[in-house]
Every structure is written in structure tokens, then in C-alpha cells.
Structure 1
Amino acid sequence: MTKHKGLLAMLGGLLRPSKRTTRIVGEEDQPGRTGVSATIELAPPASGALRLHYAPAPDGDPDGGEVVWTWVPYAERDGRGKDRPVLVIGRQDAERVYAIKLTSQSRDGDRDFLHVGSGAWDSKGRPSWADIDQLYSVHVDGMRREASALDPERFARVADALQRRYGWKVAS
């Protein structure tokens, strides 16, 4: 038993879990999947209604510029989805952040996706693309873990693409 506790402690330290995640959960109550902490897809707010914000801080809370893992519903909205990385782009309110999903499936040439390269959020080191066509609201309790952060230059490219598409401004 002691052997397993040591292994779990080591893995927990590597994954930097959210301060709010205090237990191992089953699929049915995966962070971000159901209830008030569910990750939900949103219609993009009007021009000027969302402030893009870059302020990563490895503190267990989702901050602008960070890539965090949460359960994300599929576009069909039929209850299915999967645990995946999302890029936090700004704060919605005290309990929720705005985020866009990342994918490792090549989307070169697709105007709804922006290549952001690879990062620590993908254990295999694969390049990723940010989906700038879909917006999600992630509850702070729905985040499973912080994975890493985009550097300021890559975040600025994402913010620029979102500004051009939606008219959202970068917070200063």
C-alpha cells in the first residue's frame, strides 16, 4: 500500500492539480463534465464584450495564457465529450474563465484554427492548433489541472486572430 501512495504522490506532483481538486473522480463526475462546474460552449459575445487577458501564474487557478485540462463537450451537445486542453483567454467572472480548445489534429489551411506549436500540455510533444471558432466557459472547479502556458508571443498571435474575428480587445 505504501508503494502505491508514493507513486500517486509523485504523479500528483507532476500533474500540478488544481487546488480545488481533492479527490480522484470517476468518469461520471469528472471535473467540468456536469453540474454548476460544467464546461459549456458559448456563443461568442459581441465586439468589446470580452477582454483578452494574458497573466499566467502557476498557482492552480486558470489564468489567461495558460493551457488547462477540462472536460469539453462535443459539438453535437448529446452528453458526450472528452478531457482535453483548452487555452484560457480571459476572465468571465469570479468563478469562470473564457477558453478555446486545442487539438493535435493537423488543421493547416483551416481558417477556424491557428497553429500554436507544441508545449508541455501534450505529453507526446505534438504540435497543436487553437480552435478560434468555438468559445467555452470553464468553471474554476471544472479545471482538472494546469498544464503550462503559452509564451507571450504565441498568445499575442491567438489574441490578434480573435480580435480580427470578433472585435475583442486585449486588456492592458
Structure 2
Amino acid sequence: MGLRILDRMLRKASNKDASLHDRALDRGLAHLGDRLGLDAPPNDEPRRRAIAVVNAKPTHALARSLYYAPDMDGQADPGEVVWIMVNTNGPDKPPMERAIVVVGRAAHNILGLLISPDDAHKEEHNWLDIGAGAWDEASRQCWVRLDKVLEVPELHIRRQGAIIPRQRFERIANRLRKEYGWG
């Protein structure tokens, strides 16, 4: 009789541990899905996120080897497009979500170039036409800014699986190599 009670108690404890483990696993998977942008509803308002801590530097100051390596492995890689929440319109305006193309990494920070659909950049030498793509939900023609690199902590980005096509990335890379000393 004592063995059956002990056996029942052990089974209950085991089920309780499994339940705790399952909940922890579910929370971990939900967090990972959120970080990768897999759980974001399409065309929905950007979720309230922390304003990104952005450090803009002259492109030549961050020159490094440049390669195309988008990989949805949990870290943002060169060739991916990610989104950051930034204050761009002054203190009385709400923050905006902006797309950047990843061109490198620096420890736990990503290095990215700002993407803009503003056609005023058409004639500006420091902007390069990258066309329309997943980085603009209205499918407008966009430009990427070449003379400033944004350094952003990876924790402040949102990913949703957008990748810039290799040929467009190579056009960006060629300009960075030719005009800003990247390798």
C-alpha cells in the first residue's frame, strides 16, 4: 500500500515538473517567435516597443569586410532588412518604425543603412535606389542612405523575414567599397 502511494506521488511530481517545463518551453518559443517577427500580425500597427538606441556614424568610420549572408538563424545578418522604432519627427510626434538593411555586426549591435521611400532622395548622391520590396508595405520605390551607418542594439530590432535580393545588396556593397573604403 505504501508503495502505491509513493508511486502516485512520484507520478504527480513528474507531471507537475513536465507541466512547468512545457510552460517554460512555450514561453521561450513565443519569445523567440516574437524576436523573429513570426508572430506579428501583417499590416497591423507596430507593437509598442522600446525606442531604439541608435548611434549614427559616418560610413567610412565603420569600414569593414562586407558579405551577403542573410540567414534566419536568430541573429540579424548582412542582407536582411529589419525594423527599428525611432523618434524622427520631434518630441511631440509619435515614434516611427523605420526599415534598415543590415550590412554588418559589432558585438551585440547591428550595423544598418536607413531605407526611405521619399523620392526626394532620387537626385541625392548619398542615397541609392533599391526599388520596391518587403521593406515598404506600400510597395513604393525606396532608397538606402550610404553616408551614415546606424549602430543599433540587436535587442531593439524587429525582424519579419525580409531579405534584400543579392543583386541589390551587391549594388549597395559596391558603392560602400568604392566610396567608403569597405572591403
- The alignment's TM-score, normalised by the length of structure 1, stands at 0.70
Report the Cα offset of residue 109 of structure 1: 1.8
Residue type of the partner of 2:55? I
Say whether 1:87 aligns with 2:104: no
Match among 135, 160, 166 for residue 146 of structure 1: 160
- Establish whether residue 44 from structure 1 lines up as the match of residue 44 from structure 2: no
User: For 1:5-39, what per-residue CA distance to the aligned partner results, in whole angstroms no more than 9, with x for missing partners?
Assistant: xxxxxxxxxxx7424999x963xxx24x25xxx22
1:61–1:146 CA contact under 8 A, matched in 2: no
Match of 1:104 in 2: 117
| TM, length-normalised to structure 2 | 0.67
* Displacement of 1:147: 4.7
Higher helix share: 2
Cα distance in 2 for residues equivalent to 1:43 and 1:51: 16
User: Residue 123 of structure 1 corresponds to which residue in structure 2?
Assistant: 137
Greater RCO structure (CA 8 Å; 6+ sep): 1
Aligned-partner residue type, residue 39 of structure 1: V
Backbone CA RMSD of aligned residues: 3.1
Q: Secondary structure at the match of 2:178?
A: helix
- Relative distance call for 1:42 and 1:54 in structure 2 (3 A) is same
Greater C-alpha Rg: 2
Q: Which runs of 5+ in 2 are unaligned?
A: 1-32, 40-45
Q: How many residues align?
A: 145
Q: C-alpha deviations, 1:95-127, integer Å up to 9, x for none?
A: 111101000011212101000011112111111
Secondary structure class of the residue paired with 2:169: helix
Distance 2:134 2:34 in 1: 14
